[in-house]
Structure 1
Amino acid sequence: MLRFILRRLGASIGILFAASLLLYVLVINSGDPLAELRESNAENRENLMQRRIEFMNLDMPWYQRYWTWLVGVGKCFALQCDLGTSRQGVEVSALLGLAASSTLRLVLLATVLAAILGIAIGVLTAVRQYSGLDYGVTFLTFMFFSLPVFWAAVLLKEYLAIGYNDWMEDPAFSVPQIAAIAVLVGFLMQVFLGGTPRRRIATFAVAAAFVAIVIPYLTWLNFFRFPQLGFGGVLVLGLGVALSGTAMSVGLRNTKVLYPALATVALGAIVYFASFGLLENPNWFVLAIGAVLAVVIPALLGKYLGGHLAVPAMGVGIATGIVMAGLTTLDHIFRAWPGFLALKPRPIATIGSQTPNFVGTFWEDFLDKGTQLLLPTILLAIISLASYSRYTRSSMLEVGQQDYIRTARSKGLSERTVIFRHAFRNAMIPIATIAAFDFAGLIGGAVITESVFGWKGMGELFRTGLMQVDPAPVMAFFLVTGTAAVLFNMLADIFYAILDPRIRV
């Protein structure tokens, strides 16, 4: 295994070296970095040209300039990166740090959302193959995948930003709007849940009636300007996750999994009150500690109370703990929403990654950055959704034809057990490759998205460097995106080799 990893690592380094050399040559030959200064009538034109020559090392041969850049990259192993200076004399390492933090925050969230939703949709459409749901989801995912990024961004700005901000001034629903939303939700619920015609009609009626009652009630509470989840909401939703997770994994009758999940809910309820004051204005360190505890404690409960079913008990417990922690956090975010609206009456922004000179509490600052992140994240996620859903669907259908799946069914195992404990695990192997390429591809694809939404990220760094014939910012962009692409591809190969030892040879 070590030999396989070293061989893949060596190949990856060779690919990065060749690609960086090619890109550097292409950039420096794409134009004249001194063009606008040569045509300038400024009295200090010669001084400006000399300064730019010094900043960009234009007095050196191209191969010496490339070698200087390569040596600076090598210093990164000693945590002393020297990526040169831009043609304005600004250290590119500082520009890269700001740009990378902005872009990676966007791309990471979009990748996680696309993977979770895409895999869930893929599994569901595979189980309901050739149904109306399958055809409808296939149409929508490919429509999203085919959308021009700039056009979809304009639509999101118009309806999810400008339209929503106008509506937030006086959030209310008319009777036709409530009826339309109720019918739409009822239709979608009966499509997703399926069943006999009688069951579909009942599902539609219950879902539509529920929405028709809840929306006026929330409007009466002025929930959209003063939202609150409360202890009751956290407890009920946490119980729902514990019960549904147990039902999907081993069934509700198996107390070895059910009791650790319910114990996690009880602990979450205690933590809700114990941490209330601490979470009113926390910091990232406190939230990180809470996230770790939300995983470790349920895992320990599942391990020691689950007996011979320790693994599913740990899985359900961890899922319940994470959801309970997330709901507790969401409750505090809801409580900060009115104060955030007072500081920023039009909450959904269309330009930039954060509001300039915004000053507020921790949660208000979190909401500011989150609302700025909303539109570009949605855009990148829906574009990636098609890949995850279609590959998951095809992989699930392929695995479903294997002999061991037929054997599992012939043994009398429930369909839930066959799907989630046998088919799903093996169907996820090809998704590792998709996730690896998608993450790196989104970083590169964020160039257009960042331009449309005015984000000062990796896309802006790349575009500016290319337009100014400045190789330093462009090579910094390549250093992150190229390394991410090769690294995640290598990790996918290693993950494959761990799951299937035949790949090693």
Structure 2
Amino acid sequence: MASFIIRRLIASVFVLFAATFLMYVLVSLSGDPLEELKQSNAPNKAELMEARTRLLNLDVPAPLRYFIWLGGIFRGDFGISIQNQPVNALLANALTSTLTLVTIATVVAIVLGISVGIISALRQYSGFDYAVTFVSFLFFSLPIFWVAVLLKQYGAIQLNGWLGEPTIAIPVIVIASLIAGVLWMSLIGGSWKRRGIVFGVATLATAGVLAYLSATQWFADPSIGIVVYAALAIGIAFGVTAVSTGLRNRKALYGSLGVAALGIALYFPMMTYILNGMTLWVFIGLAAATIVVCGAIGWFIGSPDRGPVIRTTIIVGVLTAGLIALDKYMSYWAVYSNSSRIRGRPIATVGASTPNLGGNFWVQGIDLYTHLLLPTIAIILISFAGYTRYSRASLLEVMNQDYIRTARAKGLTQRTVVVRHAFRNALIPITTIIAFDVGAVVGGAVVTETVFGWTGMGRLFVDALGVSDPNPVMAFFVVTGTLAVVFNLIADLVYVALDPRIKVS
């Protein structure tokens, strides 16, 4: 495997050299960096043009100028922009903004799209399958700029007005409850009697929850509370165990319930003492400690087959700890919403942060989330359709293979057949799609960044290309090209892990 990786990396270096040379020459020939100065009426126009010519080495032919630029790359210097700004600084700011915006959206879209696609494949030709297919094609056909504008109107302007007095109208409760009942009925499936029971229970439960949230105006000052947290923690323990190992694996179930009980026991100490005075590094340290402790619980309980138990307890631990962090964020929602910089309109429409907001770790976190909310939803809605359709088609193809019929003939449960046999092989084509999407992810969502006022990689590329500024364009190309090559290499290695029949040699 080491020789395979080395060969791929060497070949990738030559590919990047050729691609960057071609890109540099094309960008250099696509326009004149002096065009703006030539059309200006400045009295020192000649001096300005001469200074820019020296700055960008415009008196050197483009093919030779490429090697001057390449020498700077080997020193870690991407050069100077037309505005006489270091491209390294521009790239750092743009890359940070893009990774903050697009990475979260892509991860959520991948997880949500694959999960919904798998459920849709397992419920083929059901009402749920038809609904998912319709919604997927609808989202796929929507232009991103139109979705972004609608989100700003109804997800920010209208929603901020509603949050001033967050009561839910009775017709909305009725319609939402009926939709929830139909969704759960289609998802659970079974006989019509069973579907009717599920529809009734889901409809009444949804109506009760929405009526309670409306009566208490929960959205004005949200919280989870120990009772709801305990119920959610126990539900997470059962749900994750059912999917990960099956409830028949008692050691995994006991480990998950132990982790849930530990989370319930630590709820008040965490909320009252430990999470106060939080910093980013302390937060990361607590997250790492959660993984270590939950893994240790799985290791002690899971003998002799520790792997599945450790995996299950870690997932349960991360989710239950995440609920505590979410509740702590919620406790500062009213403080954030009523601050002088927010003035009761917490859902942001432009920018990445609120200027001069101040506040502690939790308030700053809420500010980041509210600015990420709308652009993240816009990207998820568009990306969700593709991942859903690919995962559905891939799983349906795998489920018709001979080895799946053999596994069922041996008497394996449906969970074992899907999770251990079908799902693993269904991920192979999806891995290819994800690897190809990485370059586009880091390249930035140009339209989304423009509508929501984010200055990321996409804006950097478009703005530089518009004024024929080669250095920022090449910085963009080097970063996205390198990541695309690296993630395609990772995809090849993932193929080997998913399918032992594939050999890297």
TM category, shorter: over 0.9
Cα displacement (A) at 1:365: 1.0
Number of equivalenced pairs: 500
Contact 2:127/2:186 (8 A) holds in 1: yes
Secondary structure class of the residue paired with 1:33: coil
Contact 1:246/1:252 (8 A) holds in 2: yes
State the match for 1:228 in structure 2: 223
CA separation in 1, counterparts of 2:318 and 2:228?
A: 15
State the match for 2:85 in structure 1: 90
CA separation in 2, counterparts of 1:183 and 1:442?
A: 37
> In the alignment, does 2:328 pair up with 1:332?
yes
Secondary structure class of the residue paired with 1:155: helix
**TM value normalised by structure 1:** 0.95
String of CA shifts for 1:318-370, please: whole Å, max 9, x gaps.
11101111001001000010011012121111111112222122111111111
State the match for 1:490 in structure 2: 489
CA separation in 2, counterparts of 1:123 and 1:472?
A: 44
Deviates more, 1:263-272 or 1:407-416: 263-272
Alignment of 1:19-98 (within 5 A): 19-75=19-75, 81-98=76-93
Contact 2:113/2:385 (8 A) holds in 1: yes
CA separation in 1, counterparts of 2:274 and 2:299?
A: 29
> In the alignment, does 2:313 pair up with 1:314?
no
CA separation in 2, counterparts of 1:327 and 1:201?
A: 32
Contact 1:111/1:438 (8 A) holds in 2: no
Question: Which residue, 198, 215, 239 being the options, matches 2:210?
Answer: 215
Cα displacement (A) at 1:5: 1.2
Cα displacement (A) at 1:127: 0.8
Contact 1:249/1:417 (8 A) holds in 2: no
Identity %, equivalent residues: 48
String of CA shifts for 1:109-134, please: whole Å, max 9, x gaps.
01210111111112111111122221
CA separation in 2, counterparts of 1:481 and 1:393?
A: 29
State the match for 1:466 in structure 2: 465
CA separation in 2, counterparts of 1:260 and 1:440?
A: 40
State the match for 1:176 in structure 2: 171
CA separation in 1, counterparts of 2:17 and 2:134?
A: 41
Contact 2:34/2:49 (8 A) holds in 1: yes
Cα displacement (A) at 1:136: 1.7
CA separation in 1, counterparts of 2:504 and 2:426?
A: 20
Question: Which residue, 155, 159, 168 being the options, matches 1:160?
Answer: 155
> In the alignment, does 2:456 pair up with 1:457?
yes
State the match for 2:359 in structure 1: 360
**TM value normalised by structure 2:** 0.95
| Gap regions ≥5 residues in structure 2 | none
Deviates more, 1:5-14 or 1:314-323: 5-14
State the match for 2:11 in structure 1: 11
CA separation in 2, counterparts of 1:296 and 1:434?
A: 32
> In the alignment, does 2:391 pair up with 1:412?
no
> In the alignment, does 2:271 pair up with 1:284?
no
Cα displacement (A) at 1:280: 2.7
Cα displacement (A) at 1:446: 0.7
CA separation in 2, counterparts of 1:252 and 1:502?
A: 32
Please, what is the CA RMSD of the aligned residues? 1.7
State the match for 2:114 in structure 1: 119
Contact 1:281/1:363 (8 A) holds in 2: no
CA separation in 2, counterparts of 1:248 and 1:397?
A: 19
Contact 1:92/1:473 (8 A) holds in 2: yes
Cα displacement (A) at 1:50: 2.4
CA separation in 1, counterparts of 2:13 and 2:381?
A: 32
CA separation in 2, counterparts of 1:307 and 1:408?
A: 26
Deviates more, 1:50-59 or 1:142-151: 50-59
CA separation in 2, counterparts of 1:464 and 1:484?
A: 22
State the match for 2:401 in structure 1: 402
Contact 2:37/2:48 (8 A) holds in 1: yes
State the match for 1:78 in structure 2: none
Secondary structure class of the residue paired with 2:84: coil
CA separation in 2, counterparts of 1:304 and 1:425?
A: 27
String of CA shifts for 1:355-409, please: whole Å, max 9, x gaps.
2222122111111111111111111122221222222222212222233222221
Cα displacement (A) at 1:501: 5.2
State the match for 1:148 in structure 2: 143
Contact 1:268/1:324 (8 A) holds in 2: yes
Secondary structure class of the residue paired with 1:216: helix
Secondary structure class of the residue paired with 1:224: helix
Q: Which amino acid aligns with 2:121?
A: A
Contact 2:102/2:444 (8 A) holds in 1: no
State the match for 2:126 in structure 1: 131
| Gap regions ≥5 residues in structure 1 | 76-80
Deviates more, 1:19-28 or 1:305-314: 305-314
State the match for 1:376 in structure 2: 375
CA separation in 2, counterparts of 1:170 and 1:47?
A: 61
Contact 1:189/1:203 (8 A) holds in 2: yes
Cα displacement (A) at 1:242: 0.6
Q: Which amino acid aligns with 1:44?
A: N
Secondary structure class of the residue paired with 2:32: coil
CA separation in 2, counterparts of 1:322 and 1:466?
A: 43
CA separation in 2, counterparts of 1:474 and 1:171?
A: 47
